């Protein structure tokens, strides 16, 4: 089976569309991927649709030839909330979360996280998510929200969704046990990972007050990057009991 390079083209909509590529798209296809006239590639709009596409003779345009059906998405809407981390660590989390099937990412401002980053960071994170979606052959590019306070994020989401906050403590149930015991009442599953210094007790109490369930990822204390990857991997690969 022929494997084609993939590129997110948000303006792609309908079979037969003739698209004028942006300078960035034109450069990437022609100079980075080295695709020539009439070369085929996969155009995805990042919203669940993809097409086999063909470049024009001057490679500045492309035609959507026919739609493609790739069942690479999870049967749930997986949402990650994660505190802003040091040294661009959130870049790695966003890439891995995209590979694991996350639909939405909320960077968090918590009592112990880094302060709000520059607006350029959000643009960078969105680009990382797009590249990871292309690499992992997803049809959706996760939406990344602007950084916001944990107290504001606690107000979001379907009231019936399952929401888990990664916590430390001997009496906290493992995430895998929670997943096995609960029947889904919504398509949404939320996972929250705190900063390297951990959640404050107040932040955890506020979460429990609105039905977030504390969960453990094992007996070891994990870095935030590791915790996010492990938690999302457990959810993504667990048999989901549909509502």
Identify the pLDDT of residue 199.
Answer: 96
Domains 6-68 and 77-236 alike in fold? no
The vertex-147 CA angle with 232 and 154, nearest 5°, equals 65
The architecture in CATH of the region 6-68 reads: Beta Barrel (2.40)
Identify the pLDDT of residue 243.
Answer: 53
- Mutual angle of helices 119-135 and 89-99, in 10-degree steps: 30
SS (H, E, C) the chain: CCCCCEEECCCCCCCCCEEECCHHHHHHHHHHCCCCCCCEEEEECCECCEEEEEECCCCCEEEEEEEECCCCCCCCEEEEEEECCCCCHHHHHHHHHHHCCCCEEEEEECCCCCCCCCHHHHHHHHHHHHHHHHHCCCCECCEECCCEEHHHHCCCCCCCCEEEEECCCCCCCEHHHHHHHCCCCCCEEEEEECCCCCCCHHHHHHHHHCCCEEEECCCCCCCHHHHHHHHHHHHHCCCCCCC
Structural domain boundaries in the chain: 6-68, 77-236
β-bridge pairing 213-215 and 40-44: unpaired
Q: Which CATH topology does 77-236 take?
A: Alpha/beta knot (3.40.1280)
Identify the pLDDT of residue 150.
Answer: 98
Identify the pLDDT of residue 215.
Answer: 97
Identify the pLDDT of residue 236.
Answer: 93
β-bridge pairing 61-68 and 50-55: antiparallel
- Chunked mean pLDDT (size 10), the chain, 243 residues: 83 76 89 91 89 91 87 89 93 98 97 89 95 92 96 94 92 91 82 96 96 94 95 89 56
């Amino acid at each position: 089976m022929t494997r084609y390079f993939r590129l997110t083209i948000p303006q792609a909509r309908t079979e037969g569309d003739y698209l004028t590529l942006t300078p960035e798209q034109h450069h990437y296809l022609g100079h980075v991927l080295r695709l020539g006239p009439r070369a085929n590639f996969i155009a995805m709009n990042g919203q669940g649709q993809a097409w086999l596409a063909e470049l024009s003779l001057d490679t500045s345009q492309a035609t959507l030839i026919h739609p493609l059906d790739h069942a690479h998405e999870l049967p749930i809407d997986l949402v990650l909330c994660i505190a802003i981390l040091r040294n661009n660590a959130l870049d790695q989390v966003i890439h891995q979360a995209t590979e694991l099937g996350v639909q939405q990412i909320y960077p968090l401002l918590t009592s112990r996280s880094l302060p709000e980053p520059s607006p350029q960071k959000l643009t960078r994170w969105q680009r990382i998510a797009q590249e990871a979606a292309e690499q992992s052959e997803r049809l959706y590019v996760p939406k990344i929200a602007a950084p916001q306070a944990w107290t504001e994020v606690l107000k979001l989401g379907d009231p019936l969704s399952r929401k888990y906050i990664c916590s430390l403590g001997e009496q906290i149930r493992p995430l895998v046990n929670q997943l096995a015991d609960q029947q889904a009442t919504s398509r949404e599953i939320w996972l929250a990972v705190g900063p390297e210094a951990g959640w404050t007790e107040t932040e955890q109490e506020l979460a429990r007050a609105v039905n977030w369930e504390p969960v453990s990822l094992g007996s070891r204390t994990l870095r935030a990057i590791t915790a996010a990857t492990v938690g999302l991997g457990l959810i993504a690969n667990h048999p989901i009991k549909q509502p």
